[in-house]
Amino acid sequence: MQGAQQPAASPSRALAGGLSPAHDAAGDARALRRQIRAGRLTGQTSGLAPGCLQANLAILPAAWAGDFLLFCTRNPKPCPLLGVSDAGDPMLARLGADIDIRTDVPAYRVFRDGEHVDTVTDITRLWRDDLVTFAIGCSFSFDDALQRAGIPVPNVVAGTNVPMYVTGIETAGAGPFGGPLVVSMRSFRPADAIRAIVLSDRYPLAHGAPVHIGDPGAIGIRNIAEPEFGDPPVLHPDEICVFWACGVTPQLAIGRARPDFAITHDPGHMLITDLPADLKT
């Protein structure tokens, strides 16, 4: 067991191409957030900071936060909560010591009365003392685990955003929040689909195991070639579609509830946290 006695960050381990130890992964996350904060990284975050949990974002006035918290609690597959801020506090220290939610996400969507009215890369000027931030787990966190297991994730391979679809499955409502479940889709050959299901189950805060496999129509998806969010998929005839609950679901719930003001991430453009991707609670 000589390997176990080596310091985690020893050159030999790094040279051997092994997994980065956790504090190195968090170092990647911090470096990426600095780039994002400086406005030098505004693209989607799939494949970045492997080993770190990424997060969907919903920011709501305190008057709406209680019902939204209940919505997340009742819908843990699309809305696994990583953290909730105090009202007016833009810092999310539990997710990363330096995280300032006003600057550390590559792109944001601004909603007024439930309508998406603007997309911006900084919300400092929009910040209010009554805003509550919800950080919600993201399926990007297991893409790296799949790739490392030799399971090609089509959109990661292609360097595109994952396709996301509005389904006919209704979420469990809470106060004014409700609406359809949104899913992300990755296609695999059947044997890889089985392994992807088993592996993703180990990432409960990244939506865990899928919610559906096979026929898109069975969950109300009309046209697999035309996702409502993200990029269109490239499908091969020997592949099976695998659908995971998606953290874009809250954006539709916000559209349903029509709060006077809300901010979310732009789909695919996530908050990169320091938390390990396989965190269980």
Long-range contacts of 18-23 (CB under 8 A, 24+ apart): 19/51, 19/148, 20/50, 20/51, 22/51, 22/276
Residue 274: how many CB atoms within 10 A of its CB?
Answer: 23
Q: Which is nearer to a copy of itself, 29 or 182 (CB)?
A: 182
Q: Which is nearer to a copy of itself, 210 or 259 (CB)?
A: 210
Q: How far apart are CA 257 and CA 6, in angstroms?
A: 54
Q: Position 31: which residue type?
A: A
CB 217 → a copy of itself: shortest distance, Å? 11
CB 184 → a copy of itself: shortest distance, Å? 15
Q: How far apart are CA 49 and CA 30, in angstroms?
A: 9
CB 149 → a copy of itself: shortest distance, Å? 13
CB 2 → a copy of itself: shortest distance, Å? 24
Q: Which is nearer to a copy of itself, 122 or 239 (CB)?
A: 239
Residues found near a copy of itself in the complex (CB under 8 A): 190-191, 193-195, 197-198, 201, 209-215, 218, 238, 240
Q: Which is nearer to a copy of itself, 43 or 214 (CB)?
A: 214
Q: Which is nearer to a copy of itself, 163 or 210 (CB)?
A: 210
Contacts of 16 (CB under 8 A, 6+ apart): none
Q: How far apart are CA 123 and CA 81, in angstroms?
A: 22
DSSP string, 219-273: GT-S-TTS-SBSPPP---TT-EEEEEE-TTHHHHHHHHH--SEEEEEPTT-PEEE
CB 209 → a copy of itself: shortest distance, Å? 5
Q: Which strands form 164-170's sheet, in the order they lie side by side?
A: 164-170, 180-188, 240-245, 212-213
H helices of the chain, where? 2-5, 11-15, 22-37, 62-74, 140-148, 154-158, 190-200, 249-257
Contacts of 34 (CB under 8 A, 6+ apart): none
CB 197 → a copy of itself: shortest distance, Å? 5
Q: Which is nearer to a copy of itself, 135 or 193 (CB)?
A: 193
CB 146 → a copy of itself: shortest distance, Å? 15
Q: Which is nearer to a copy of itself, 175 or 214 (CB)?
A: 214
